[in-house]
């Protein structure tokens, strides 16, 4: 492609509202333009990257035996009403009505629609297993779209759904997808980690996220430095500690006027935060539960929700706290508390702890688990760097940040049971299809890849995702240079190499700056000086030194570049 015929509107200044690199660089390099909040145009370069992402995904999904379909984006409300998600999805659903006032919405995900297809078309165990996928635009009215392509209201997603005869067979489908995902993300040249994840409201039993490691990522994950354990902090566990030698002191009540926070109490009583019990009140499905963790630990709300058996919990309001404890906020504690108490395992190991007395301006000291208070002992604390690995003997956990690029689930029969998607087994018995679902954020990946591959000058696309493979630059107006560049351009195109030729009548500096910004992996420069020696210059975008270029004989250039492109 000749630059003068292309649409590559690069700009020097970043949009004022951009807060992350991918948004800034995709905009500056002319890949995307913002149309509305969380809504973007893909310009030619952006679309080419998007297509590369799609192609890799299609190739690997097809290789894994999945079948591509295309489901509608515009959906009658009936299906979501059938599973209750019409209500549960709340404001996230883009709703609309047709001319006859019928309810419709734009699809945020397609479990219902695919399950409907399956219940109509899959009848026998002989039809199974099946894995259907699509690459489709999804719509979610996010409470707060942000980060350019990272969190949009309209975005492109690959979603796949597997159907099997049994839980065991579904596990196999899940593993096949897991392996396909590994190939996909490897091919994209991303550094990522597969982590245990919350199956949450999807009603699934097993799930893993593919987290692309980026410091600015929205998700926090922990991984063991010695074994394979890696998990989203939402569900990460920590090794349970052994009990200390018990040396219980008697329970005593102390006046702690105005000392509400852990910091205030530890300073006032001269005790370490680890000797405190932090008691927080949560509302779960309408009732209040007290959650007790060690003073230096934080509560993991997903674990609390799991322990209670609900999909989410909320921190109680001040009024709720006063009502439940009879004291101001800051003085809650498990001793003598009448409601349900959940205690983190580590908290039960604190002997002679200090905790609120459920009485304004008072705390207890000498609090000991089992003697002074009871409760359900579960794992409730948020894992953090340095915590002991729950899976192996000696490892410790380290924290990372990531962007969720893929998520795979075993769904079980959640949707098939509700919607009556059944097959007939060998014994002519009707059984619900066992499902799995597998998503990849296609448009998000364009931004995610960039978040991981850029420098101060611009983007550094991995070869597999780059909009073009070679960025050809001619410098100077020299007739010989012009002719040589033209010839090289044609030769490269003839070999099927994707080349963007900056044929603009611009100064070299402008061309080089734009080349760095756009981020095509190989830059080839044809200039008067080197051409006089029969050479052209090759510079990889990953090479930091702007002056470091490899000189290649003109005659060997095409083959050399062909090899360089193949090797990525």
Give me the least distance between CB of 481 and RNA, in Å please.
8
Q: Indicate which single residue of 82, 298, 312, 487 sits in contact with RNA (rule: CB under 7 A).
A: 312
Residue of 529, 533, 556, 566 interacting with RNA (CB under 7 A): 529
CA distances from 446 to 26, 49, 201 (A): 9, 7, 27
| Range 33-52, binding RNA (CB under 7 A) | 36-38
519 is a site residue for RNA (CB under 7 A): no
Q: Which two tokens stand for residue 520?
A: 């095509």
DSSP 3-state assignment of 321? helix
Token pair listed for 515: 């080349």
Q: Which is nearer to RNA, 198 or 359 (CB)?
A: 198
The reply on whether position 99 binds RNA by CB under 7 A is no
Minimum CB–partner distance for residue 516 and RNA (Å): 4
Report the C-alpha gap between 156 and 136 in whole angstroms.
6
Residue from the set 13, 215, 245, 426 that interacts with RNA by CB under 7 A:
13
Stretch 420-479 residues interacting with RNA (CB under 7 A): 439, 441, 457, 475-477
**From 244, 286, 496, 509, residue interacting with RNA (rule: CB under 7 A):** 509
Cβ closest to RNA, residue 202 vs residue 499? 202
Stretch that binds RNA, among 64-72, 185-193, 367-375, 520-528 (CB under 7 A): 520-528
Task: Kindly tell me which residue out of 60, 344, 372, 514 binds RNA, with binding defined by CB under 7 A.
Answer: 514
Q: Among residue numbers 57 through 96, which ones bind RNA (CB under 7 A)?
A: 92
510 binds RNA (CB under 7 A): yes
CB 470 within 8 A of CB 499: yes
Q: Does 15 bind RNA (CB under 7 A)?
A: yes
Q: Pick one of 2, 4, 19, 323: the residue that binds RNA (CB under 7 A).
A: 19
Question: Which of 224, 303 has the CB closer to RNA?
Answer: 303
Output the smallest distance, CB 13 to RNA, in A.
Answer: 4
Q: Which is nearer to RNA, 142 or 498 (CB)?
A: 142
Q: Which of residues 110-139 bind RNA (CB under 7 A)?
A: 138
DSSP secondary structure letters along 390-447: SSSSS-BEEEEEEEEEEEEEEEETHHHHHHT-EEE-TTS-EEEPEEEEEEEEHHHHHH
What the block records as the tokens of 473 is 């630059």
Site for RNA in 182-201 (CB under 7 A): 200-201
Residues 29, 149: Cα–Cα separation, whole Å: 14
**Residue 205 binds to RNA (criterion: CB under 7 A):** no
Of 200, 152, 210, 180, give the one whose Cα is nearest residue 36: 152
DSSP 243-267: PPPP-PPPPEEEE-TT--SHHHHHH
Question: Residues 262-271, buried b or exposed e (16+ Cβ, 10 A)?
Answer: beebbeeeeb
**What is the rounded distance in angstroms from the CA atom of residue 118 to the CA atom of residue 241?**
48
Query: Is position 351 an interface residue for RNA (rule: CB under 7 A)?
Result: no
Does 273 interact with RNA (rule: CB under 7 A)?
no
Q: Site for RNA (CB under 7 A): which residue of 7, 16, 247, 393? A: 16
Which is nearer to RNA, 359 or 404 (by Cβ)? 404
Nearest to 150 by CA among 90, 216, 220, 230: 216
Residue 158: CB minimum distance to RNA, A = 9
Interface with RNA by CB under 7 A: which range of 95-103, 250-258, 351-359, 501-509?
Answer: 501-509
How many Å separate Cα 450 from the centre of its chain? 14
Q: What's the min distance (Å) between Cβ of 146 and RNA? A: 4
Query: Minimum distance between the CB of residue 16 and RNA, rounded to whole angstroms?
Result: 3
* Tokens 């409730």 sit on residue: 380
Residue 516 binds RNA (CB under 7 A):
yes
Could you tell me which residues are beta bridge partners of residue 436?
162, 410
433: CB partners within 8 A, 6+ apart: 115, 118, 119, 122, 128, 163, 164, 165, 413, 416, 421, 422, 423
Q: In angstroms, give the least distance from the CB of 68 to RNA.
A: 17
11 binds RNA (CB under 7 A): yes
State which of positions 136-165 bind RNA (CB under 7 A): 138, 142-147, 151, 157, 159
Q: What residues pair up with 470 in beta bridges, in sequence order?
A: 499, 522
Number of residues that bind RNA (CB under 7 A): 61
Question: For 6-129, where are the E strands, in sequence order?
Answer: 32-36, 39-42, 67-68, 74-76, 95-97, 103-106
Tell whether residue 549 is a contact of RNA (CB under 7 A). Answer: yes
Q: Minimum distance from CB of 508 to RNA (Å)?
A: 3
Name the nearest CA neighbour of 279 among 205, 207, 359.
Answer: 359
CA 422 to chain centre: 32
- Choose between 74 and 510: whose C-beta lies nearer to RNA: 510
Among the listed ranges 44-52, 320-328, 337-345, 513-521, the one in contact with RNA (CB under 7 A) is 513-521
In angstroms, give the least distance from the CB of 225 to RNA.
26
The distance of closest approach from Cβ of residue 539 to RNA in the complex, given in angstroms and rounded to an integer, is 6
Q: Could you give the C-alpha distances from 487 to 470, 474, 491, in angstroms and in order?
A: 15, 12, 6
DSSP, res 78: H
Tokens of 499: 């080349």
Alpha carbons within 13 angstroms on the beta-carbon side of residue 413 total: 14
Taking CB under 7 A as the rule, does residue 320 contact RNA?
no
**Contact flag: residue 521 with RNA (CB under 7 A):** no
397: β partners: 224
Q: Which of 498, 487, 484 is nearest to 566 (CA)?
A: 498
218 part of the interface to RNA, by CB under 7 A: yes
Under the binding rule (CB under 7 A), the answer on residue 330 touching RNA is no
Q: Which stretch binds RNA (CB under 7 A): 32-40, 56-64, 352-360, 445-453?
A: 32-40
Binding site for RNA (CB under 7 A): 10-17, 19, 28, 36-38, 92, 108-109, 138, 142-147, 151, 157, 159, 200-202, 218, 301, 312, 314, 407, 439, 441, 457, 475-477, 507-510, 512-517, 525, 527-531, 537, 539, 546-547, 549
């Amino acid at each position: 492609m000749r630059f003068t015929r292309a649409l590559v509107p690069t700009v020097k200044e970043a949009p004022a509202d951009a807060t992350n690199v991918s948004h800034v660089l995709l905009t500056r390099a002319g890949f995307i333009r913002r149309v509305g909040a969380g809504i973007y145009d893909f310009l030619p370069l952006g679309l080419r990257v998007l297509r590369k992402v799609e192609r890799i995904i299609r190739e690997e999904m097809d290789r894994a035996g999945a079948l591509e379909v295309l489901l509608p984006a515009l959906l009658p409300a009936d299906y979501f009403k059938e599973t209750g998600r019409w209500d549960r999805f709340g404001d996230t659903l883009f709703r609309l009505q047709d001319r006859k006032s019928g309810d419709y919405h734009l699809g945020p995900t397609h479990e219902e629609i695919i399950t409907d297809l399956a219940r109509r078309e899959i009848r026998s165990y002989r039809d199974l297993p099946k894995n259907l996928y699509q690459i489709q635009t999804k719509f979610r009215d996010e409470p707060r779209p942000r980060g350019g392509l990272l969190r949009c209201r309209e975005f492109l997603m690959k979603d796949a759904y597997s159907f099997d005869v049994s839980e065991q067979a579904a596990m196999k489908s899940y593993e096949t997808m897991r392996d396909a995902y590994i190939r996909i993300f490897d091919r994209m040249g991303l550094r990522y980690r597969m982590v245990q994840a919350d199956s949450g409201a999807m009603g699934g039993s097993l799930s893993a996220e593919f987290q692309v490691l980026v410091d600015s990522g929205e998700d926090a994950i922990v991984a063991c430095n010695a074994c394979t354990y890696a998990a989203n902090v939402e569900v990460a566990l920590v090794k349970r500690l052994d009990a200390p030698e018990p040396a219980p002191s008697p329970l005593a009540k102390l006046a702690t006027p105005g000392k509400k926070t852990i910091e205030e109490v530890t300073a006032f009583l001269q005790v370490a935060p680890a000797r405190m019990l932090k008691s927080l009140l949560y509302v779960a499905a309408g009732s209040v539960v007290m959650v007790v963790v060690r003073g230096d630990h934080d509560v993991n709300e997903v674990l609390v929700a799991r322990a209670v058996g609900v999909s989410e919990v909320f921190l109680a309001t001040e009024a709720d706290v006063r009502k439940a404890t009879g004291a101001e906020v800051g003085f809650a504690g498990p001793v003598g508390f009448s409601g349900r108490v959940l205690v983190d395992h580590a908290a039960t190991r604190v002997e002679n702890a200090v905790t609120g007395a459920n009485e304004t301006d008072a705390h207890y000291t000498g609090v000991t688990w089992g003697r002074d208070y009871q409760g359900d002992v579960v794992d409730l604390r948020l894992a953090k760097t340095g915590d002991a690995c729950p899976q192996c003997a000696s490892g410790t956990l380290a924290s990372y940040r990531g962007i969720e690029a893929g998520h795979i689930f075993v769904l079980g029969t959640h949707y098939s049971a509700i919607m009556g998607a059944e097959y007939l087994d060998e014994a002519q018995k009707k059984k619900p299809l066992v499902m799995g679902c597998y998503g990849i954020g296609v448009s998000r990946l364009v931004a995610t890849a960039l978040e991981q591959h850029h420098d101060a000058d611009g983007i550094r696309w991995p070869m597999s995702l780059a909009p073009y493979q070679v960025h050809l630059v001619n410098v100077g107006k020299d007739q010989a240079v012009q002719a040589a560049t033209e010839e090289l351009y044609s030769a490269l195109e003839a070999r099927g190499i994707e080349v963007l030729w900056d044929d603009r009548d611009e100064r070299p500096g402008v061309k080089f700056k734009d080349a760095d910004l756009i981020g095509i992996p190989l830059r080839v420069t044809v200039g008067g000086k080197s051409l006089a020696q029969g050479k052209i210059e090759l510079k990889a975008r990953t090479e930091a030194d702007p002056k470091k270029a490899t000189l290649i004989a003109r005659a060997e250039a095409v083959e050399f570049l062909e090899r360089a492109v193949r090797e990525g």
